[in-house]
Each structure stands twice: as C-alpha cells, then as structure tokens.
C-alpha cells in the first residue's frame, strides 16, 4: 500500500488561521530549506489572504515573497490558494485579469494552483484552470465541503467529474470549516476515487477537533495527500500538526516516513515565531470548539463575530445572529460559507437581527440572490428575489458572471503608466485588486541618513497619516466594520 503523502501548510494556512496571516517572509526563510528537505509532497506558501496581508500590513511585495521562497526551497512544489474568478479578492474580475494573474504567478515559480469557487460553480473556475494548464502547471480543482440538505456526497462527486472535464490534474476536498465527519470523508474519497479517478487531497481544519480523525478515515479510503502544519501554527482553527498526524498513523500500513528530529526542530523554530506574533494569536483559535458544529459556521468567523457583536453592542444577540446565519444561508440557496460568502452572509444576518429580516439588504447579499456570484447550489428564496426586484428593479442573471465584465488589462496598464508605476502583469494584477496598497508599496521611501547625527539634525518624528475616513453614512445607510480571519473591512451598507 502506498504511503500517504503530506503537504505542509505552515507558511500559508497555518499562520492565516492562527496568527491573522502576519508571518513575514523574513520569519519564513530560515525554515524554508528545512521544510524543503523533509519529503513533503508540497508546501503551501501563497494565496488566500497572504497577498492582501503582504501589501496591507507587512509592506512586502507578495511576488518577491514567492521568488524568495522558491529560491530557499527549490525542490518541493509550492501551492497557492486561488479564489477562481475572485483571484484573491472579494469580487469578480474579468477573464483577462485572471489570466494575467495566473501567468505572472506561474512565472514567479508557483507549481500547484488550488482553485476554488465559494459557490462551487465550476464556470467560475474554468478560466483559471485553463490558464494554469496553458502555463504547464498543476491545477487542483477544489470542492468546498459544507453541510446542507443539497450538499450530498453524490453532488460533490458530480462536481468532481466536472472538474476533471475542465482539465484538473487532481481534486481537493476543501473543508474550510473543519466540519467533515470521518465517515463522510471516507465515503467522499471512496466515491471520488471510483468515479473521478484523479489524485485526491483532503484539506481540513481542526476547529471542531475532527481534522485528524477525518484524515485517518480518508487515508483508509485511499486519499493520496492530506495537509498538515507545524505546531504551534497547527491544530485548533489550522491543520493538524505533522508530528501528531504521524503518531496517529503509527502501525498504519500507509504511515509515511518523516525525520521526527527535524520536525521537532521546526516546531521549536516556529514556537519562537509564534511568540513574536503573539499580538495576533488567540486562545479562542487554539482550542477545539464544537460550537462550529452547532452553528455550522467556520471557526475563525465565530471568534471574530463574538468581537464584532460586542463592538455593535449586540453581544446579547449572539444566538439570534447565529441562527439567522442559518436562515440567510438557506434563503441564498445554501451557499457554502467561505471567503467571500462567509463575510456576506455574516453581515446580512447581523443586519436582519438588528433591523428586522430583509429590512436592510446588503448589496453583496442581493448580488448572491441575483446569481451575480454564480449559481447557488440550492434554490434562492423567491420572496427574497421579489423583494429585491421591488426595491431595485433588478432580476437574477442567467449567464456566467464574468461574461458581463469587460477586459481590463489595457486600462490597468494605462493607469499604471500614468502614475509612472511598473506596468507588467504583476503590477497590473496587484493594482487591480489592491490599488492603494500597491501604490503605497511603490511610494518613494524617505532617504536614510548617511552622515553623522552631529551634522544633520534628527528630523522630527513623522506622524502616521490616518486612513481617509469613509464618508458619513447617508440616510438609510449604516456603517459596519467587519473582521473575518484577521482582515478588517469597513463598509457603508446602503439600504435597498
Ligand atoms: Co484552509
């Protein structure tokens, strides 16, 4: 029996799940060569929230991070997480921007692209997958796992077949909330192997304490790869720890061979990094939390929601908002809760509890109901569609959402040229997604003092420039600050 393989996630999902995506390239580089020599099938190092975090919080160019990590760990394939047509943002981009992003990323050294869509609408994955293949890279089509009356093993297997037809090299089961039960993992892997026939990876989180058991069941069913991290950036809301997973496989015919001494060294190294990032870690994320099973929402979303409700003076409404999430999800056709839908459903549930059901509809929630994010897995509430039509005159769309978007690359290049910024594909895609942060990255740095302080007086400290405040909400509008998985967004939600 072939040993199971491990991908390691410590450099992406590990710190995204437990330390608000704040690990810097400098903190990663010492560990990269050791990770490279361990025999992992892949290292997840990029995508998800890391690009946003590099630009917004760390002042790093994310493509430079990838190049540095490729140089430090050249042997092991590196993985990224790509949100299909959303790339690594919350809204849809035209095909030419998605293509340019994949091309630039492939050129910078990316090997494996984990491509997913929050609605599991494979039309939103087609452009990315096609481009990954055109670049000669590995496309791993992800099935977002969630539980609902419409999410049966049969439906997931059907999606697996679609992903194979789109040209994927392998299939990933992406259990972002850590809610897959071991027996379901066993059944899904068994069915996907029998009917899709591509290599399968299971990706889960230990949020509810099911992760390692789900991996074990999937390994029994013949899964090719499972994804583990390195403690303390492991367990809790992140992936199970590699050493822990090895111990769990003791005596198992598929136990892989890893140097445990080196793994212990890595754990020691990352313990230091975890301490450095102490401001961004929380015991709430480290412990097993079965609430995620009760409320059926991702663990990270739960802990952030508790804080947000406190900020909105709605702490006593926690149970009401949580059950409203369930209701909103059903009304929106049982969409999986993963970025960006988790943010959208969470906000709408909060609005419903605060102002009454559908009294205020967030534009993004209306867009989901109108199929603007893609086809929801179940039926959208006809009452909600009617309500939106009555208030805005908008009707649901039929086609692939990106078909409605005009190409943007020539315009992006023009805009960058006008600002005397770089105009290559890398610059264009970052500019398209994070214009302010990208411009800040290229802003001239203050010149460093080169002579003695005795000659040149020390300049007074420069006060940080506060971010431009949002305009005050107009009549019928409300302002919300939403933090999910360490990312804070502020939005004025208009009433429609
Ligand atoms: Co994950």
Q: What is the CA radius of gyration of the chain?
A: 23
> 204, 211 in Cβ contact below 8 A?
yes
Greater confidence, 250 or 488?
250
Question: What's the whole-number mean pLDDT along residues 103-130?
Answer: 97
pLDDT at 164 over 90: yes
Distance 47 CA to ligand 1 centre (A): 11
What gap in Å lies between CA 293 and CA 178, rounded to an integer? 9
Name 227's bridge partners: 7
Q: Which alpha helices (H) appear in 73-174, and where do they start and end?
A: 95-108, 126-134, 153-165
Ligand 1 center–CA 176 separation, angstroms = 5
Q: Where are the alpha helices (DSSP H) in 233-298?
A: 242-248, 260-276, 283-286, 291-295
Ligand 1 centroid to residue 146 C-alpha, Å: 13
Q: What is the pLDDT of residues 1-35, one digit of tens each?
A: 899 999 999 999 999 999 999 999 999 999 999 99
More confident residue, 198 or 457: 198
Class of domain 287-403+476-493: mainly alpha
pLDDT at position 471: 39
Residue 398: the pLDDT is: 92
CATH code for the part of the protein at 5-284: 3.20.20.70
Neighbours of 446 (CB within 10 A): 8
**How many angstroms is it from 85 CA to the middle of ligand 1?**
18
Three-state secondary structure call for residue 35 = helix
pLDDT score at 299: 66
Identify the band that residue 300 occupies on the pLDDT scale cut at 50, 70 and 90. low
Mean pLDDT across 191-200: 98
The whole-number pLDDT of residue 448 equals 55
User: What pLDDT, in 10s, does the model give residues 364-423?
Assistant: 999 999 999 999 999 999 999 999 999 999 999 999 999 999 999 999 999 999 999 999
Please give the Cα distance from 144 to 347 (Å, whole number). Answer: 21
Query: Percentage of the chain with pLDDT > 70?
Result: 89
Predicted confidence at residue 297, as pLDDT, reads 76
CA dist., res. 34 & res. 23, Å (int): 17
C-alpha 494 to ligand 1 mean position (Å):
32
Confidence bin at 461 (pLDDT 50/70/90): very low
SS3 content of the chain, % helix, strand, coil (to 5): 45, 10, 40
**Contact between 339 and 324 (Cβ < 8 Å):** no
Average pLDDT over residues 324-347: 92
The structure's pTM equals 0.88
Q: Measure the CA–CA gap between 103 and 428, rounded to whole angstroms.
A: 12
Q: 487 C-alpha vs ligand 1 centroid, how far in Å?
A: 15
Instruction: Taking residues 66-70, report their average pLDDT.
Output: 98
CA of 295 to the centre of ligand 1 (A): 19
Find the 224 Cα to ligand 1 centroid distance in Å.
18
| Out of 100-109, 270-279, 455-464, least confident range | 455-464
Answer whether 453's CB lies under 8 Å from 128's CB.
no
**For residues 87 and 81, what is the distance between their CA atoms, to the nearest angstrom?**
9
Measured CA to CA, the distance from residue 286 to residue 18 in angstroms comes to 7
For residue 481, is pLDDT > 70? no
The predicted structure's pLDDT at residue 295: 78
Q: What is the DSSP string of 302-354?
A: HHHHHHHHHHTT-GGGHHHHHHHHHHHHHHBTS----TTHHHHHHHHHHHHHH
| 467 CA → ligand 1 middle, Å | 30
Range with the poorest average pLDDT among 113-117, 388-392, 446-450: 446-450
Q: Summarize the confidence of residues 108-113 as an average pLDDT.
A: 98
Determine the distance separating the centroid of ligand 1 and the alpha carbon of 478, expressed in angstroms: 31
Give the C-alpha distances (Å, rounded to integers) separating 124 from 5, 147, 236, 368, 462: 29, 21, 31, 14, 45
| Separation of alpha carbons 265 and 67, rounded Å | 25
**Averaged pLDDT score across all residues of the chain:** 89
Kindly list the domain boundaries of the chain, sorted by start residue. Answer: 5-284, 287-403+476-493
Single out the residue of 242, 176, 227, 194 nearest to residue 17, CA to CA: 176
**Range 463-471 average pLDDT:** 37
DSSP assignments along 382-422, one per residue:
HHHHHHHHHHH------S-GGGGSPP-HHHHHHHHHHTT--
Whether the per-residue pLDDT at 282 is higher than 90: the answer is no
Distance of CA 428 to the CA centre of its chain: 21
Three-class secondary structure of residue 134 per DSSP: helix
Output the pLDDT for position 450: 45
In the predicted structure, residue 208 carries a pLDDT above the cut 60: yes
Return the pLDDT at 67: 98
């Amino acid at each position: 029996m072939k040993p199971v393989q491990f991908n390691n996630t410590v450099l992406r999902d590990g710190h995204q799940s437990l330390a608000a995506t704040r690990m810097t390239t400098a903190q990663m580089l010492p560990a990269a060569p050791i990770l490279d020599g361990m025999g992992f099938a892949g290292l997840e190092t990029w995508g998800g929230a890391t690009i946003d975090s590099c630009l917004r919080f760390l002042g790093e160019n994310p493509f430079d991070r990838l190049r540095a990590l490729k140089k430090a760990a050249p042997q092991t394939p590196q993985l990224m997480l790509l949100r299909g047509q959303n790339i690594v943002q919350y809204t849809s981009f035209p095909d030419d921007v998605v293509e340019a992003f994949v091309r630039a990323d492939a050129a910078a050294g990316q090997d494996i692209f984990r491509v997913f869509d929050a609605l599991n609408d494979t039309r939103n994955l087609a452009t990315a997958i096609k481009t990954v293949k055109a670049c000669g890279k590995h496309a791993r089509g992800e099935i977002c796992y969630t539980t609902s009356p419409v999410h049966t093993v049969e439906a997931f297997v059907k999606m697996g077949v679609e992903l194979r037809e789109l040209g994927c090299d392998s299939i990933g089961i992406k259990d972002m909330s850590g809610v897959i039960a071991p027996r379901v993992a066993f059944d899904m892997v068994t069915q996907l192997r029998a009917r899709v026939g591509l290599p399968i990876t299971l990706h889960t989180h230990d949020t509810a304490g099911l992760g390692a058991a789900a991996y074990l069941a999937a390994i029994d069913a013949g899964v090719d790869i499972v994804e583990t991290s390195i403690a303390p950036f492991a367990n809790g809301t992140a992936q199970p720890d590699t050493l822990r997973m090895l111990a769990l496989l003791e005596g198992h015919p598929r136990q892989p061979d890893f140097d445990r001494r080196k793994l212990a060294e890595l754990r020691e190294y990352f313990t230091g990094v975890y301490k450095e990032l102490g401001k961004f870690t929380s015991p709430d994320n480290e412990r097993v939390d079965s609430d995620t099973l009760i409320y059926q929402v991702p663990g990270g979303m739960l802990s952030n929601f508790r804080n947000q409700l406190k900020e909105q003076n709605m702490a006593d409404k926690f149970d009401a908002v949580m059950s409203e999430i369930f209701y909103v999800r059903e009304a929106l056709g049982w969409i999986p809760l993963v970025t960006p839908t988790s943010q959208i459903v969470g906000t709408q549930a909060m609005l419903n509890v605060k102002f009454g059901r559908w009294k205020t509809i967030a534009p993004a929630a209306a867009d989901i109901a109108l199929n603007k994010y893609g086809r929801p897995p179940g039926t959208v509430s006809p009452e909600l569609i009617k309500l939106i039509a009555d208030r805005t005159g908008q009707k649901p769309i039929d086609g692939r959402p990106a078909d409605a978007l005009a190409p943007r690359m020539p315009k992006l290049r023009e805009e960058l040229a006008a600002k005397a910024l770089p105009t290559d594909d890398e610059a264009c895609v970052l500019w398209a997604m994070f214009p302010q942060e990208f411009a800040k990255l290229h802003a001239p740095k203050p010149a460093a003092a080169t002579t003695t302080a005795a000659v040149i007086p020390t300049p007074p400290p420069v006060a940080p420039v506060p971010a431009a405040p949002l305009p005050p909400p107009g009549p019928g509008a409300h302002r919300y600050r939403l933090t999910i998985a360490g990312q804070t967004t502020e939005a004025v939600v208009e009433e429609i």
